[in-house]
Structure 1
Amino acid sequence: MGWIEHSIWWHVYPLGFCGAPIRDAAPVPAHRLRHLLNWLDYAIELGASGLLLGPIFAAQSHGYDSVDQFRIDARLGDDSDFDSLVAACRERGLRVVLDGVFSHVGVQHPELQPALIEGRTSAPAELFDIDWDAPGGPAPRVFEGHGDLVRLNHATERTADYAVQVMTHWLDRGVDGWRLDAAYSVAPDFWARVLQRVRAAHPGAWFLGEVIHGDYSDFVAASALDSVTQYELWKAIWSSLRDRNLFELDWTLHRHNDLLQRFIPNTFIGNHDVTRIASTLGPSGAVAALAILMTVGGIPSIYYGDEQGFTGIKEERAGGDDEVRPAFPGTPAELAAEGWLIYRAHQELIGLRRRHPWLTTATTETLRLENTHYAYRTRSANGADYLDVIIDLDGGQPVTILDPAGGALWPTGS
């Protein structure tokens, strides 16, 4: 599975990117998924090697409330649109990873009401986590207090079969792996049982779990996942730059070193669930955060729009994700002129990483550490190669990357 070690993902939330209606009571079906075809060359020019796609399956609203993961959401199109997208990615050498929601489903899932009516011994009931003794009658247990999200029953073979069948169906159709939404909320042994079966048919597939807190290494070992989301590093990058406390980043990079001895985490500074990095740090700070991301070990993903300096605040309210999940215009030519400077910085830093592929598994060592000044050496796993990264929050250039001879690799000309 050597391909994953060279992966840099362009992470896209398709329902937002393609301008699909999220909360319309009766949305009009449309072939919106083809909108992505106009952006594949843009992703390649950015330096990405694949698309990490948010949910594209039939759902009630935001996609994580699925009702049928064997069917493309009508707001995005149909199987032919999906096939065209995969074929276009293949022509360009782009990998495709899909977002699977196997923790929960939408309350409108067609098997839920039959399960509640037919009772606990019925076939539909095997799929759901139902409190059969709830006051007022049987009631489905929900995901993290969200009444529209119904938990699946991960103790049954029916649910394991369902996850295996969905993953295998789309891997057979040409995708390269899965992001497993809310993987942290499911017992790791469920994933281990499921992935053993899926890998039997698709040994080269890659599986990324969404894990926010806890012991990442233990979760990977118990679940048989290939990787998990490195939220700890995400938080340390932006907060140490914002708060001018680089001790936090240093502490986290030491922990990150330990993770890299066991697996390669998915690293990021933005995704569909968090405030945009440019809103947190401003344009210059966002580029500094990217420079750190691109010089530490991991499998990085760039959230669509971050490469253009998009802003957006995540809020805990209905519709609070809308700002960080916007529509993209028809073509790259329609993007605002001021975003291309940040895009070029992304190209430069991603290009630097591609010229030093050993950075995927590189670990760091501290050379100098103060609140606003930090230097670390990022070194290859075999110890033969290294780069030095200088962070100076008091100077005009927040991050400088040096080669072993002390020459500036980035920014060029410094």
Structure 2
Amino acid sequence: MTALDHAILWHLYPLTATGAQIRGGRKPGRGVASLSAWLDYLVELGCDTLLLAPIFQSHTHGYDTIDHYRIDDRLGDEEDFGKLVGECRRRGINVLLDGVFNHVAADHPWVDQGLTTGRSWEGHEELAELNHADERVAEAVVAIMNYWLDRGIAGWRLDVAYAVPTAFWAKVTDRVRQTHPDAVFLGEIIHGDYAALLRDGHVDVVTQYELWKALWSSLKDTNMHELAHALGRHNEFLEAGYLNTFVGNHDTDRIASVVGQDQAILAAAILFTLPGVPSIYYGDEQGFEGLRGEGFAADDPVRPPLPDTPAELSPLGARVYEYYQRFIGFRRRHGFLTTAGVEIREVDNARLSYRVARDDDWLDVTVSLPGEFKAIASDGEELSFSL
């Protein structure tokens, strides 16, 4: 049994969620400690893990890190972060931080110290690619990870892990586990060999982008064959380890803007009845909408501010929120789903039936477009609705 066997993540983008300015200036927001006002909401939703996008000192959006040991001054300082971690610990919430260890800001001290390759990251001149063949880089990353693990976090999301040699991740995670054996490592992989990153990189869980794409695309195009194919692949990937499943994150269009509010609810029902470690991108559980744009500010529409407290949310999101609570409660009562296997039973363009099973526990699910859902578990509990 590990923390991942029951984990449901709430994924938050702290800089913009707290109202900080990320381009054209550096106006602070409410600060990272203000997120404590959302922790009871997180628990009531049914989540137990808070996944934070970058919180370290950077120039703009957080992925251009200047100092991994300093909380971004738009979010406060280490004392403020410590208050948030303390409030999380009091509620039994794990905290994962986003570690950007593939690249750094072009004026990061590591550039002058010769720890980079001399190349920019994917043509972004403001980002310098780290030299992962340099032992000093591994030592620096291990030290950073241990520093924040010592301060109470549970683990790390590894940004663009697919672009870093798996041997580097294996070296780093193995060293960190010498002092923090229970640390969790979530590797971001958009394309590439999922199993290799799990097996050879020694990470615990990887992002399942293939399933994400198939989920929204199948609903949008009324083509459940695409989802059936992705679930076959999903079942193969599960043999290698844990998979982080999701219907949206900080780099994707909002599911409600892509398929509409009703089918976004249907997508969530499918998500929570499939094997994996699910994550919810903040606001999806309220039906937030937003489409990515073009250029440097492309992601801004999907990284919105939150109100000061959950009580100030629009009542328009209550319906979606209640469905999410229902789905998560059902999943909590059927914990075998995280590490189960999935088998397709029936598929045509508008209908998909699958079984999720482990040992003597099973769940039979039928999805009929545009909005019929029914799941029956081996213990007799049923989850069904019509939109």
TM-score above 0.5: yes
Change beyond 3 A, Cα 1:148–1:19: same
Residue 95 of structure 2: aligned partner: 96
Residue 384 of structure 2: aligned partner: 410
Asked if 2 retains the 8 angstrom alpha-carbon contact of 1:31 and 1:78, the reply is no
1:393 aligns with 2:364: no
Alignment deviations for residues 105-140 of structure 1 (CA, whole Å, 9 cap, x no partner): 01121343xx2xxxxxxxx11x1112xxxxxxxxxx
1:172 aligns with 2:150: yes
Alignment deviations for residues 190-230 of structure 1 (CA, whole Å, 9 cap, x no partner): 11111111110100010011101112002211111111100
1:406 offset after TM fit, Å? 7.3
In 2: Cα distance, 1:228 partner to 1:191 partner: 13
1:337 offset after TM fit, Å? 0.7
Structure 1 residue matching 2:125: 3-state secondary structure? strand
Matches within 5 A, 1:53-92: 53-92=52-91
Residue 36 of structure 1: aligned partner: 35
In 2: Cα distance, 1:151 partner to 1:367 partner: 46
1:316 offset after TM fit, Å? 3.2
Matches within 5 A, 1:297-376: 297-376=275-354
Asked if 1 retains the 8 angstrom alpha-carbon contact of 2:21 and 2:29, the reply is no
1:88 offset after TM fit, Å? 0.0
In 2: Cα distance, 1:286 partner to 1:237 partner: 10
1:109 aligns with 2:108: yes
Q: CA RMSD in A?
A: 1.5
In 1: Cα distance, 2:377 partner to 2:130 partner: 51
Change beyond 3 A, Cα 1:366–1:29: closer
Q: Paired residue for 1:221, among 199, 202, 219?
A: 199
Change beyond 3 A, Cα 1:407–1:50: closer
Percent identical among aligned pairs is: 50
Structure 1 residue matching 2:323: 3-state secondary structure? helix
Asked if 2 retains the 8 angstrom alpha-carbon contact of 1:31 and 1:81, the reply is no
1:31 offset after TM fit, Å? 5.4
Asked if 2 retains the 8 angstrom alpha-carbon contact of 1:57 and 1:66, the reply is yes
In 2: Cα distance, 1:174 partner to 1:269 partner: 29
Q: Paired residue for 2:208, among 223, 230, 234?
A: 230
Q: Paired residue for 2:249, among 271, 290, 295?
A: 271
Letter aligned with residue 128 of structure 1: T
Residue 188 of structure 2: aligned partner: 210
Structure 1 residue matching 2:329: 3-state secondary structure? helix
In 2: Cα distance, 1:260 partner to 1:111 partner: 37
Give structure 1 stretches of 5+ with no counterpart.
Answer: 116-123, 131-140
Asked if 2 retains the 8 angstrom alpha-carbon contact of 1:401 and 1:411, the reply is no
Asked if 2 retains the 8 angstrom alpha-carbon contact of 1:30 and 1:74, the reply is no
1:129 aligns with 2:110: no
1:30 offset after TM fit, Å? 5.9
In 1: Cα distance, 2:379 partner to 2:143 partner: 53
1:388 offset after TM fit, Å? 1.3
Structure 2 residue matching 1:129: 3-state secondary structure? strand
Letter aligned with residue 313 of structure 2: L
Which region of structure 1 is more displaced relative to structure 2, 210-219 or 44-53?
Answer: 210-219
In 2: Cα distance, 1:404 partner to 1:46 partner: 25
In 2: Cα distance, 1:208 partner to 1:177 partner: 8
Residue 13 of structure 1: aligned partner: 13
In 2: Cα distance, 1:318 partner to 1:213 partner: 22
Q: Paired residue for 1:153, among 131, 155, 168?
A: 131
Residue 285 of structure 1: aligned partner: 263
Letter aligned with residue 149 of structure 1: L
In 1: Cα distance, 2:380 partner to 2:219 partner: 24
1:369 offset after TM fit, Å? 1.0
Letter aligned with residue 393 of structure 1: L
1:402 offset after TM fit, Å? 2.1
Structure 2 residue matching 1:265: 3-state secondary structure? strand
1:407 offset after TM fit, Å? 6.5
Structure 2 residue matching 1:411: 3-state secondary structure? strand
Letter aligned with residue 400 of structure 1: K
1:404 offset after TM fit, Å? 4.2
Change beyond 3 A, Cα 1:35–1:407: closer
Structure 2 residue matching 1:236: 3-state secondary structure? helix
1:261 offset after TM fit, Å? 1.5
Residue 24 of structure 2: aligned partner: 24
Alignment deviations for residues 33-72 of structure 1 (CA, whole Å, 9 cap, x no partner): 1220110000000000010110000001000000001000
Letter aligned with residue 234 of structure 1: W
Letter aligned with residue 382 of structure 2: A
Residue 254 of structure 1: aligned partner: 232
Change beyond 3 A, Cα 1:297–1:405: closer
In 2: Cα distance, 1:15 partner to 1:184 partner: 25
Q: Paired residue for 1:242, among 220, 232, 239?
A: 220
Asked if 2 retains the 8 angstrom alpha-carbon contact of 1:230 and 1:266, the reply is yes
Letter aligned with residue 41 of structure 1: D
Asked if 2 retains the 8 angstrom alpha-carbon contact of 1:51 and 1:97, the reply is yes
Change beyond 3 A, Cα 1:172–1:143: same
Letter aligned with residue 366 of structure 1: I
1:315 offset after TM fit, Å? 2.2
Letter aligned with residue 392 of structure 1: S
- Structure with bigger strand share is 2
Whose Rg is larger? 1
